[in-house]
Each structure stands twice: as C-alpha cells, then as structure tokens.
Amino acid sequence: MKPDSRELIGYAWRMLRPYWKLAAFATALGFVDSFAAVKLLSIVDN
C-alpha cells in the first residue's frame, strides 16, 4: 500500500512544525549577518 502524497506532506508538516520558528530565526540571523558583513566591508573599503 503506497502512502498518499497528502498523508506524506501531513506527516512531514507534523514533524517540522515545531522547527519552523527556529528555521525562520536562523534565516533572519543569516540575513542580518550577511548584511552586517557587507556593511563592514564597505566601511573597511573607504
């Protein structure tokens, strides 16, 4: 019996739901980090 793709997605969602905030935080942190690095480089350049 092959699992339905909706069931599979539902299962994955239940598994990953607690971590979406962590992922969003990590993404935001990475974005801020890269932005800070670019700003720092531009300051060092001048």
Q: Which residue segment(s) compose the domain that 30 sits in?
A: 5-45
Read out DSSP for 1-46? -PPPHHHHHHHHHHHHGGGHHHHHHHHHHHHHHHHHHHHHHHHHH-
**In the prediction, which pLDDT does 28 show?**
92
Distance between CA atoms of 33 and 40, rounded to whole angstroms? 10
pLDDT in 10s for each residue of the chain, 46 residues:
676 889 988 998 888 888 888 888 989 999 998 898 888 889 888 6
**In the prediction, which pLDDT does 3 show?**
65
pTM, to two decimals: 0.43
Number of structural domains (the chain) is 1
Is residue 42 exposed (0-12), middle (13-18) or buried (19+ Cβ within 10 Å)?
Answer: exposed
